[in-house]
Amino acid sequence: MHCFYLIISPLKILLKSQTYQYNIIKPFHQDIKDDYVRFEGPKIRIAPIPNGVTHRSLPQIALGHNLMSYCAESESHLSFLETFLEKNTSRRSSKSVSPTETDYNAYSKCIMSINDINSGITQIFMSRIRKNKLPNCTVKFLMKAVSYRYARVYGNYKDYSHQGLARIALLGDVQLSASEILDSLHPLLSVVGEQRVVHLVYVAGFLKLLFSLGRDDEYMISPRLGDPPNRHIHKFLHDFDQHRKVAPKPDLKSALIL
């Protein structure tokens, strides 16, 4: 049996209409790059469901979000899900920030500030961003730049950064808190994994896993910023689907990302 998972999250509110992000998480294949695809659009009902496909809503996900599983004997029977969303919503890019994001204008001003003061590869110390030394920029905006492959990281957070071509080089000279990196301090889902607690979170609009390191308030993120999902996210959702070992809601206010 093969399963795709669909996570629906509110993206923003525009007057009386609502925009949602649709995340499809497929089984991991080493040579396939679309194991995780994102769409945005209004709240819609996925229908019709083809014969041979079973689907159900999974509980315990955070209020306002929805988690669905779609399973079939063959992965090809599940292609309808992506086809349906392709037709009825808009695919989100993994390389450019959508103008529909609530902080798009502020993020663009930050990037423009960086481009205006330097040419070539720009080096930025995260400690200076904390002290508001770069107008219009915050740590979260620079984490977004890393996630969309416009920036890369050196120092403490090198392993989280996509090491391709980038205009911005961030120097990780300080330890960052969860509030500076995560889109929300409230995980979508918290599960008891293999001897540790794992949380499903958003970073710059991308689903990530937050692994407890077994020490108070210390965590690591997987996959690293700017990288496509690895097998962990699908495995996390599949294990939850099978065992439902929900962990207590964490207090991430003082959490540190290592």
Q: Where are the domains of the chain?
A: 2-91, 104-174, 180-257
Question: 166 CB contacts (<8 Å, ≥6 apart)?
Answer: 121, 149, 150, 151, 152
Most distant CA pair in the chain, distance? 58
Give tens-digit pLDDT for 101-125: 778 889 899 888 877 766 556 678 8
What does pTM read for this prediction? 0.87
189 with 209: CB under 8 angstroms? no
Residue 48 sits at φ, ψ, to 5 deg, of: -80, 160
Give tens-digit pLDDT for 158-192: 555 555 556 677 777 788 889 989 999 999 999 98
Alpha-carbon distance 176 to 82, whole Å? 36
| Angle, CA 21 vertex, CA 91 and CA 225 arms, to 5° | 80
